[in-house]
Chain A
Amino acid sequence: MLFNSLTFVVFFLLVLTLHYSPLSWRTKKINLLIASYLFYAAWNPPFVILLLISTIVDWHVAKWIDVATTQSKRRIFLILSMATNLGILGYFKYGEFLLQNWQLFMLNFGIDYQVPEWSIILPVGISFYTFQTMAYSLDIYLKRAKPATSLLDFSLFVSFFPQLVAGPIVRPTHLIPQFETPHYANLKQFWWGVNLMILGLFQKVVIADTLLAPSVEAVYNSHEPMSMLDAWLGTLAFSGQIFSDFAGYSTTAIGVALCLGFSLPTNFRFPYAAIGFSDFWRRWHISLSTWLRDYLYIPLGGNKKGERRTYINLMLTMLLGGLWHGASWNFVIWGGLHGIFLSIERILRSRVGDAEVLLNTWLKVALGLLTYILVNITWVFFRADGFENAISLISSMFGFASVGAKTPLPTLYIIQVIIVISSLVSAHWLMRNTTLEAVYQKLPAWLVSVILVLMAFTVIITQGSGNAFIYFQF
C-alpha cells in the first residue's frame, strides 16, 4: 500500500480508530499486527508468507543462540538465520542477476549456458525487513542484547507497517521496548505527526513526482547524447527527486508512527549540505549507513587492523552497500565510487588533518558544493539504464557529446529544475546545523498554519498518479 494513495487514507483512519478505542494494549498490538500484514498484502498477498518465515525463523534462532552453551553452536544458529534471510533476499532479488553473470562467465570458456526465463516478482521492501531481522539475530549473537520476551512484540517489530517497506531500518532495541508498554500520542505529538505526514507527502507528490520527475524522465529515457546543460539539469533534477522521494517516505513513516505514539529514528539530515563523503553518509539514509557500519564494517575489523585493511573494509562495505540497492552492476559502481571518494577523503584528512584553512566558511561552502557535484556524478550510475547509458550521460555532462546533441528539456522544465534544486540545496545549507523541530519551534503559529495549508493544498490538488516510491524496489 502506498502512503500517497486514497486506500491508505481510509486504512490509516481505521487503524487510528482502533488504536484509540477502549481495548486492551494486547488487543491493540494484535490490531497493529493484522494491519501491518494487510498493509503488505495490499500490494501482493502471497508475499506475507515471507514476513512470517522471517519472523518465525529469527524468533527461534535468537532464543537458541542465547541459550547455546558453545561458540560453535551459536555460530551454527547464526548461520541458519543468515542463510534464511539472505537466501530469501538472494533468490528474489539477485537470482536473475547471478544467472546472467554466470552465463557471461561460462561464455569465457566457450560454454553457451542458456539462462532459464526468470519471472520472479521482487517482493516490495524485501531488503529493508531482511536487514531489520538480521540485526536482531546479530545483536543476540554479538551479545549486544537479549532476545525479546514476546512473540507478538517481535512479530510487530518485523512487520510494523509505517516503516516496513522503505525504512527507516529500525534496531530491535529501539522499537521492541516501545511495544511492551502502552504508547499513545498526546495532542502535540499527534499534530506534529500529522504535520510530518503532510510534509513527507508534499516532498513525494509535489516535489519528486510533479516538479522533478518529468525532467528526469526526459533526460534519462532519451538514451541519446545530449547537451551539457540538459545532462546536468536532468541529473540535478534526479538528485532532488530521489532525496524528496526517499526522505518524503521516511518523514511520512515517522509521522504515521508518531500519530500512533511510537518513535522512529531520523533517516536524513539535510544531506546536500554535506562537506565531504563521510559527512554525506552521516546525513543520507542514516539507518542503512549505521547498519552497514555496525554489522559489516566494524565486524570486518573497521579501522583497527591497519591502514591497508581499513581501505579494503571501506571499499567492501560500500560495494555491498551499492549492491543492496539492486541487482545491477550500476549499483555496484555507484557504491564503489562512494567507497573511492571516502578513501580519498580519508587520505586527505590524514595528510591535511585539522588545518586552520579548513575552518574558513567559504572553503567549507566550496568543499560542500564539490561534494554535491561528485554525489551527482555518482547518481548517474544509480539512475541510468545500464552502464553504456551512464557513460554516455557523463560524457555529455563533461561536454563530450557528439555534434547535434539533443536538448530534451523544454524551457519550463529548465526553470522548474533551477528553482526547485537551488531552493532545496539552499534549504539544506540553512538547516545543516539544526533540526526541523528546532526551526518549527521558532515560527509563529500563523506561519506554521500557512506552510501547512500550502503543503496540504498542493498535495490534494496535485494528487499525482499514485507513483510508487523509488526505494520500494530495494
Chain B
Amino acid sequence: MPSSISSSNSKPDLSCDEMQEFNAEHGSKTIETHDEVYSKKQHIPYRVIPQLSWSKIMFFALPLLIFSLASWEFLAYKMGHRSGTYQTGFDNMWAEERRKLDKPNNIKMVLLGSSRVLWGMDFNIMREHLGSQPLQLALPGTGPALFVKDIVDNTNFDGLLVVGVTPFLFNRMDEGHFGKGALDAYHHQSPSGYTGAKLQDFLSDYFAFLDEGIFDA
C-alpha cells in the first residue's frame, strides 16, 4: 500500500534522548531501502535540535563578536588601511569602467596597456587639456591587443586610444595576468555578482578592514 505524499503530525523539536532513539532507528548504521522506509508509518524525519540556552549564548556571543570586529577594524586602521576607497578588486573596477563606453559618454581618450600606463598617468593634467576625464582600462601584466580588439569590435568609440608599450607584453594576444578576470567580470557578470560588488562598495565606505591595499597613514 503506497503512502501518499502528505503531512504528518510529527513533533519538530526533539530532545537529545529522542534524538538518540531517532538515530538508532534512522541513523548512520541503519540505512534502509526506500521501500522499507515507505512501508512504515510515514513521518517527516525532522532534524534534532540540541537543547541549548540561546539567550545565554547570545548574551556572551554578540558583545564578543562586536568587540572582536571593532578591534580588527582598529588594527586595520593602525596598519594604514582606510575606508572609502573603491574595494571590489581589479576585475569589477575594470568592468565598471569598461561599461562607461557602452553608454552615451563624452570620453575622448581611452588608455590601454600594462601597469606602467596604470600608474604613470597624471589625470588632472590630461583632464585640463582634454576637457574630459580619460578612461583608464590598463591592467597590470597585460598586453593591449585583446582590449583594442574589444573596443573596436564592440563599441562606437571614435576618440583616441593610447596604447602603452611594454616590450615583453606588447605582442601578447591573450588576456595576460589580469585580463581574463576583468573580461569575465565585464562580459559574464551575474546579477548577484553585480549586486554583490555594489554592496561591497557600500560597506567599504565604512570599514577599513575591507580595504585590500595599504596606504600611508
**Interface presence of A398 (CB below 8 A):** no
The residue on A at minimum CB distance from B23 is A435
* Complex contact A191–B54 (CB within 8 A): yes
Give complex CA distance A7, B196 in Å. 5
Across the interface, do A263 and B47 meet the contact criterion of CB distance under 8 Å? yes
Contact A187:B2 (CB < 8 A) given known A6-B199, A7-B196: no
- A183 vs B64: C-alpha distance when bound (angstroms): 32
Q: Does the CB pair B203–A258 fall under 8 Å?
A: no
On whether the beta carbons of A191 and B69 are closer than 8 Å, the reply is: no
B68 at the binding interface (Cβ < 8 Å): yes
Residue A356 at the chain B interface, CB threshold 8 Å: no
User: Which of B116-130 touch A at CB < 8 Å?
Assistant: none
Which residues of chain A are within 8 angstroms of B7 by Cβ–Cβ distance?
Answer: 177-178, 180-181
Interface residues of B in 1-60 (CB under 8 A from A): 2-8, 12-13, 16, 19-20, 23, 27-28, 31, 33-35, 38, 42, 44-54, 56-58, 60
In the assembled complex, B147 has its CB within 8 A of some CB on chain A: no
Number of interface residues of A (CB under 8 A): 69
Q: Report if A263-B52 is in contact (Cβ < 8 Å); known contacts: A6-B203, A7-B196, A145-B38.
A: no
Q: Are B60 and A173 in contact (CB under 8 A)?
A: no
Chain A's closest residue to B61 (CB) is A449
Interface residues of A in 273-295 (CB under 8 A from B): 282-283, 290, 293-294
CB distance from B32 to the nearest CB of A (A): 9
Please pick, from A7, A263, A266, the residue contacting B192 in the complex, using a CB distance under 8 A. A7
Q: Is the CB of B68 within 8 A of A435?
A: no
B13 x A173 contact (CB < 8 A): no
| Mask of A444-460 contacts with B, CB within 8 angstroms, 1/0 | 01101110110011001
In the complex, what distance in Å separates the CA atom of A30 from the CA atom of B167? 60
Q: Is B65 in contact with chain A by the CB < 8 A criterion? A: yes
**Alpha-carbon gap, A457 to B35, bound state (A):** 45
Sample of 6 A–B contacts (CB below 8 Å): A144-B35, A189-B13, A191-B54, A192-B50, A290-B31, A445-B60
A→B interface (CB under 8 Å): 1-2, 5-8, 10, 41-45, 139, 143-149, 171-174, 176-178, 180-181, 183, 186-189, 191-192, 254, 258, 261, 263-266, 269, 282-283, 290, 293-294, 298, 435, 437-438, 440-441, 445-446, 448-450, 452-453, 456-457, 460-461, 463, 465-466
Known contacts A144-B35, A173-B38, A254-B47, then 9 further A-B pairs from the complex at CB < 8 Å, ordered by chain A residue: A2-B192, A5-B196, A43-B190, A172-B5, A173-B5, A177-B44, A186-B13, A188-B49, A438-B20
